[in-house]
Structure formats: structure tokens, C-alpha cells
Amino acid sequence: MSASVAHRELVESWFTKGWAGGDTGIAEQVFSPGFVLNGRRVGPAGPRRSVAGVHAAFSDIRVDLDLVLGDGRYVVTHYTTTARHTGDYRGVAATGRSIKVSGIVIWLIENGLVVQDWNAFDTAEVVAQLTAGHDNEERVGG
């Protein structure tokens, strides 16, 4: 298997098993002990905390990989997350609403593990969807 295929599979496994599936146990299989997120060293514990927080606030989480590009040690992903708001999220109590938000991650992979990523995900858009009026519920399938 080529490195680019292995890198793509690594990233896809995190999105499906970790992010959408809630399996925080695979973090050590995906992220290096010195993993850096957006310039801050967090190790695998950082992604574990993120997944735990998301799964405490949302259910029916789905991640669609809209685009996956590989270039050597780098993988770039554009993804769309949909979920139902069933717990507290950034001070907003459960609404039962559905959300749909896209993000981009640039992953740097060395020796079979993610050592760094740059993640752009609009959490303000998530809050806006949760706190908007009835029209928003219809727009996102709520």
C-alpha cells in the first residue's frame, strides 16, 4: 500500500470511528504523542477531549468527506458534519435541532501518525443554527 493511500485511510478512520463514531480509544493509533493542533501541543488527549465533548452535546453524528487530497506527508480534507443537538453545547441547552456545518483540516503525517493538523471549523455557525428561529430548522432538516 502506498503512503498516500495509508495516510488517507488513517484520516478516514479518525472521521468515521473517532469523530462520528465516538471511539476515543483510537486516538493513540491516529495521533502522535506530540501531536500539535492549530499550533498547540495536545497529544492524543486533545482529540479524545474534542470527541467526548461533541458526543456529550450531539447524537446521530455523521461525517461526509466531501474532498480528500493527498500530497506526500499531507492530507487535506473538506468535510460536512450533521448531528442532532441533544446536550449542552457552548452554553446552549439541548434543542433537539439538527445542525449541518462544514470544515477543513490539513493533516501532517509522519511515520504513520498525525503529528500536526490545522483545523478550520465554524463553531459560531453551530451556535447560530442552534439558536436561530424556526426557519433555520427547516433549512437544515430539523
**pLDDT, tens digit, for every residue of 2-35?**
778 899 999 999 999 999 999 999 999 999 999 9
pLDDT greater than 90 at residue 136: no
Pairing state between β 113-121 and 31-37: parallel
Q: What is the pTM of this model?
A: 0.86
Confidence bin at 142 (pLDDT 50/70/90)? very low
What pLDDT is recorded for position 57? 97
What pLDDT is recorded for position 141? 42
pLDDT greater than 60 at residue 135: no
Handedness of CA 42, 115, 39, 23 (dihedral sign): negative
- How many Cβ atoms are within 10 Å of 135's Cβ, its own excluded? 7
What pLDDT is recorded for position 91? 92
What pLDDT is recorded for position 1? 64
What pLDDT is recorded for position 38? 86
Q: What is the pLDDT of residues 58-116, one digit of tens each?
A: 999 999 999 999 999 999 999 999 999 999 999 999 999 999 999 999 999 999 999 99
Indicate the domain borders of the chain: 3-139
Handedness of CA 99, 104, 79, 31 (dihedral sign): negative
Q: Which CATH number is 3-139's, of 3.10.450.50, 1.10.260.40, 3.40.50.11540, 3.20.20.80? A: 3.10.450.50
